[in-house]
Amino acid sequence: MKISNYLILFLSLVVVYACESDVEENTPKHPIESKKEPEKPKVTTPIFDKDSAFAYVQKQVDFGPRVPNTKEHDACGEWMASELVKYGFDTLIQRGKVLAFNGTVLNIQNIIGQYKKDAKERIMLCAHWDTRPFADRDSVNKNVPIDGANDGASGVGVLLEVARQISIQNPRLGVDIIFFDAEDYGAVQVTESLQDLSSMSDTWCLGSQFWCKNPPIPDYNPKYGILLDMVGATDAIFPKDAVSRHYAGGLVNKIWKEAQNLGYGKYFVNQLAGAITDDHTYINEMTSIPVVDIIHYIPNGNYGDFGKFHHTHADNMDVVDRETLGVVGQMMLHIIYQEL
């Protein structure tokens, strides 16, 4: 009796299973459609004018050293702000006072230009525009300010040409250009070792520290930022520094890969560098904006630093190379118009 009941039950299950299989086989199968991200419209990236960028560097140097509390500094700042206005950027100057390592009160100006001010999706491009008030790595005239053609003027020159290009071909994104003051008024270096530079790190980048502590734009939240520093020297190389990798590693890899795909691998090298104290250090640490530093640095060179002309009177127009300016500028336009 038990065997018969089990047999009936078994046959019933077989019939049910067969019916279900028939239903599955006879039911039309539709592939599950995955939601695709809308394709970005194809946009042609403008061609960066390296000669124009070089002229912007020369113009800054012609003002003389841009040391805070000097007439040369103020005149150059006024001109830079007027250039941003000319190219359609809503421009403001954040003025403030900061205390230098030697007790000097510096009157600083952070110059800020915003293209498409009301656009929610935006990126930040920045550079410092002041120059070293002394040539502490030189063997002569150590207490005389330097020209700062590469260290200061090169990044500004690239970004002013970027602003000009934006005025000609408007990108979809909002773009903010910020020129930070008093980056280079840090503690005096007394030996060849860069340990002197890092021993008093917070004496550097006073303008960007002030900007972080006193936000001039309420609720400012760009997707990311890119800092340009010393981007004009012949055969410059830009390694991946530790601060950028820590706070914006994905963006670092994307930028360097794109640069290499465009044929700029000679400049954007796959080399790792240690932590570099620069404006991006404080923005990364003090805000929620991930910032990448594109900076000339030789991890294993003779000096293991920023070049023999760094913080000397040799940092003049002789070290500025149009080709290097052109590579960095073209990368900035690629990033903006291809929306990396």
CATH of the domain at 250: 3.40.630.10
Strand partners, 241: 273
* The pair of three-digit structure tokens given for residue 319, joined into one six-digit string: 């070290």
Nearest Cα to 117, choosing from 222, 226, 210?
222
13/11 Cα distance (integer angstroms): 5
The tens-digit pLDDT sequence of the chain (340 residues) is 333 443 334 444 444 444 444 444 444 455 555 556 566 678 999 999 999 999 999 999 999 999 999 999 999 999 999 999 999 999 999 999 999 999 999 999 999 999 999 999 999 999 999 999 999 999 999 999 999 999 999 999 999 999 999 999 999 999 999 999 999 999 986 655 544 444 567 999 999 999 999 999 999 999 999 999 999 999 999 999 999 999 999 999 999 999 999 999 999 999 999 999 999 999 999 999 999 999 999 987 555 589 999 999 999 999 999 999 999 999 999 999 999 9
Whole-model pTM: value is 0.87
Three-class DSSP category at 320? strand
Q: What is the pLDDT of residues 168-211, one digit of tens each?
A: 999 999 999 999 999 999 998 665 554 444 456 799 999 999 99
89/274 Cα distance (integer angstroms): 35
Strand partners, 7: none
pLDDT for position 255:
98
244/248 Cα distance (integer angstroms): 5
163/86 Cα distance (integer angstroms): 9
Three-class DSSP category at 251? helix
Number of structural domains the chain divides into: 1
Q: Where are the alpha helices (DSSP H) in 149-216?
A: 154-168, 195-199, 206-213
CB 140 within 8 A of CB 241: no
* The pair of three-digit structure tokens given for residue 160, joined into one six-digit string: 């002013």
Q: What is the pLDDT of residues 206-242, one digit of tens each?
A: 999 999 999 999 999 999 999 999 999 999 999 999 9
Is residue 70 in a domain?
Answer: yes
Is residue 197 in a domain?
Answer: yes
CB 256 within 8 A of CB 268: yes
* The pair of three-digit structure tokens given for residue 49, joined into one six-digit string: 């004018």
246/244 Cα distance (integer angstroms): 5
Half-sphere exposure of 154 (CA within 13 A, CB side): 31
pLDDT for position 188:
85
251/246 Cα distance (integer angstroms): 11
Strand intervals (E) in the chain:
90-99, 105-115, 122-128, 174-180, 225-229, 238-241, 268-273, 291-295
Largest pairwise CA distance in the chain = 113
Is residue 80 in a domain?
Answer: yes
Is residue 30 in a domain?
Answer: no
Is residue 329 in a domain?
Answer: yes
Nearest Cα to 332, choosing from 40, 46, 54?
46
Is residue 56 in a domain?
Answer: yes
CB 294 within 8 A of CB 273: no
Is residue 188 in a domain?
Answer: yes
pLDDT for position 18:
43
Is residue 35 in a domain?
Answer: no
Nearest Cα to 238, choosing from 335, 152, 324, 149?
324
Q: Which domain holds residue 162?
A: 50-337
CB 87 within 8 A of CB 103: no
